[in-house]
Amino acid sequence: MEKKVSPKETFQLISGFISLCVIFFIIWYWVTRPPELYIKKYEVKKTISTMIANGADLDAIKHYYKGVDKFKWSISYGWRNEKNEHYPSDILLVTIFKDIRNDWYIKNKPDQKEDGRILSLINEYEQRNPFDGLESSQRDYFENIRIKLGGNYSSVTTEIGKISDELRIKNNLVNQYLADSKKSLYISIASIGFALLMAMFQIFTFIRRSKPSSE
């Protein structure tokens, strides 16, 4: 005699199956995804502003920035914090300089001495690190060009800078595209896994229904 599965048993099986799929997907996603590291905007900008006001040079600020605490954007950390209050850990120092200067002008007219100081730091940074933000191999190529040109490099600085900026933008677009592709891959793999689990569930249910009931 065919064994009948009650609605309650069916509901329990489906609920357990869906819960198992959700748990599996969450664990798999957080284990396989690359870590996202961030730094706190307010603390970094406040410290760098203080260093600028106290006359710190670029090397001192870079040394501080290199050792800034980085935070992994986990579920627990993201629950307690806002992403727009953080910088990605790989943000360029010169971008932070420019953000600080913008903040000064938004709040009130900045002190001319400090404004001149931060402009000097921005110019120095861009002269000394014109290829920051590029991939290491790309940066090496540009550095070799600068070395080989020697004193003649100043005549092509603007053009090289524009090429570097364009390449940096394209790198960001490629990285964004790859990140989207990875997400699509994860979703596809998860869908396949879900389909396999669903098939196993249907087979299991069929086997249970096919077993003769004991009288």
Q: Which sequence spans correspond to the domains of the chain?
A: 1-33+133-215, 34-129
What's residue 1's pLDDT? 47
- With left for phi above 0 and alpha for psi between -120 and 50, is residue 124 left, alpha or beta? alpha
Do 96 and 48 meet the contact criterion of CB atoms below 8 Å apart? yes
Is the full-model pTM beyond 0.75? Answer: no
Q: If we measure between CA atoms, which residue out of 132, 131, 71, 125 comes closest to residue 100?
A: 125
CA distances 200 to 5, 123, 147, 210, Å, are 17, 63, 64, 15
148-160 tens-digit pLDDT: 877 777 677 777 7
The CA-to-CA distance between both ends of the chain, in Å, stands at 9
pLDDT in tens, 6-16: 566 666 666 66
Q: What is the pLDDT of residue 100?
A: 94
Query: What is the model's pLDDT at position 180?
Result: 62
Residues of the chain where predicted confidence (pLDDT) is lower than 50: 1-2, 215
